Amino acid sequence: MTLNTVTEQKIIAAATEVFLQRGKGGARMQEIADKAGINKALLHYYFRSKERLYDEVFRRQISAFFDELFSAALEMENIADFLHTFIHNYLDTVSAHPQVLRFVLWEIEEGGEKMVEILHQKLLERGLPALPIPRLIQRAVNRGELRPVDPVHLMMSVIGMCLYPFIARPIVENLFPGVVVNSPEFLEKRKTEIFNLVWQGIQPQPSPDD
Amino acid sequence: MTLNTVTEQKIIAAATEVFLQRGKGGARMQEIADKAGINKALLHYYFRSKERLYDEVFRRQISAFFDELFSAALEMENIADFLHTFIHNYLDTVSAHPQVLRFVLWEIEEGGEKMVEILHQKLLERGLPALPIPRLIQRAVNRGELRPVDPVHLMMSVIGMCLYPFIARPIVENLFPGVVVNSPEFLEKRKTEIFNLVWQGIQPQPSPDD
DNA sequence: GTCTATACATCGATAGAC
DNA sequence: GTCTATCGATGTATAGAC
């Protein structure tokens, strides 16, 4: 499942590099072979086609990404702790592996089915239910700890806030001189701003008869 | 600046369609020529190369997108009205032209400079200052109408929340059965959830001596 | 398993007739 | 302006020797 021969290992590493630099369509088997120190014929010997080679590279990237993303506990009961941890971990993980975002965006262009499949598999491995995050949010709402927000929309909002600067990095850094998305300063500031906005935004409102 | 001959018009229309369906690299000049009812040679007669043809298509798409986005007044003084209008208009515009997002994401992969250039040009045309939105937010903070948020981060947060479902549409719709990002129900719900979260999240906190 | 050599397809771009 | 025909480069994939 993981790594077979040394050659296979070298191919995967070279292919990952070239796919990231050129994109899926722009990548050339010749360049991958060169970078791996072998020839084109051997690429097709190990992986039947360019499509399968890309598929293998993609699955490894996404899989490692989810592993790191889920390394923080998702089964926290305290919703404040959860949100705080989730936001910090999400930003740290994306920031540490910005290249994964490009694979994800390419995958989305092709329907996103492979990614959803891998996500479900990772949740299963960890014994988590489907949609653990909306479930957590809903329970906090039911306990009256949060105002009645839509759990799915809140989850989308948090993820959208976390991802945006990385997705739009060239535009953001061009539009706001001084911003360096991957700098520790920006990252810490972003964590604080997102958490504060969300946390205050979901507090229960005092009821009229209080 | 806009449209010259009928043939040019047909080429642009066909090219837009093919670029959207296949991507920039995947698009074939032959298919564009076929769809425009002409031959390849004529494509190179009107536009020197595939690169220039793509450039022309991209600029028209982004330009029209910004025009619609800026159709709502950005110079509102009341921050609640502004936020409400901005969120509604942003979601409506993106929802009405989902294809523009794909052009934007491809542009980002190439540095995002063309897009920033067009944005600045559009702001100039309307006599708006650079970064009108952070400027608006900062003034509201200065007047004490909002708690001291970072204007740039707030802007990124709002845009991120608006864009996420459209960027990740295949994943979102696959992960949350029943969600149809482009449906009127989802759109209205999304507007409400974003505005409520943000509005409550940026209210001034009562000071200790109140 | 690893190589060289090449088959086979396709693409962007151009030459040149009309 | 519009066409046909084709060039030259490059791509994936494979055949066959070692």
CA dihedral B102, B107, B110, B116 (to 10 degrees): -150
B186: closest CA of chain A, how far (Å): 10
Strand C reaches within 7 A of the B35 CB:
no
pTM, 2 dp: 0.96
Give the pLDDT confidence of B163-172 residue by residue, as tens digits.
Answer: 999 999 999 9
Give B56 to chain A, closest Cα distance, Å: 20
Q: How far apart are CA A101 and CA A105, in angstroms?
A: 6
Percent of chain B with pLDDT over 90: 91
pLDDT digit string, tens, across residues B20-32: 999 999 999 999 9
CB atoms within 10 A of CB B33: 20
More confidently predicted of B194 and A76: B194
Return the closest-CA partner of residue B172 out of B159, B183, B157.
B183
**Distance of C1' in D17 from CA in A197, Å:** 68
Give the Cα separation of B96 and B7 in Å (integer).
27
Interface of B with A in 127-156 (CB under 8 A): 131, 147, 149-150, 152-154, 156
pLDDT score recorded for residue A72: 84
Model pLDDT, residue B74? 77
Q: Is the CB of residue A55 inside 7 Å of nucleic acid strand D?
A: no
Output the CA–CA distances (angstroms, integers) from residue A25 to A13, A146, A196, B126, B170, in the order listed: 18, 46, 41, 39, 21
* A45 Cβ nearer than 7 Å to chain C strand: yes
Question: Which residues from chain A sit within 8 angstroms of residue B153, using beta carbons?
Answer: 189-190, 193-194
Low-confidence ranges of chain A (pLDDT < 70): 1-3, 208-210
**Residue range B94-149, pLDDT digits in tens:** 999 999 999 999 999 999 999 999 999 999 999 999 999 999 999 999 999 999 99
Which residue type does A157 have? S
Question: Whole-number Å distance, CA B27 to C1' C3?
Answer: 35
A101 touches A166 (CB < 8 A) = yes
Taking residue A195's Cβ as centre, other Cβ atoms within 10 Å add up to: 18
Q: Which residue is nearest to nucleotide D14 (CA to C1')?
A: A41
Contacts of A121 in chain B (CB under 8 A): none
Q: Are B158 and A197 in contact (CB under 8 A)?
A: no
Q: Least CA distance to A172: which residue of chain B?
A: B156
Q: Which nucleotides of D are covered by protein (CB under 7 A)?
A: 1-6, 10-16
Q: How far is A186 from chain B (nearest CA, A)?
A: 10
Q: Each residue of A79-92: b (16+ CB within 10 Å) or e? A: beebbbebbbbbbe
Q: Does B22 touch chain A (CB under 8 A)?
A: no
* B30: its two tokens: 């032959």
* Mean pLDDT of the residues in chain B: 95
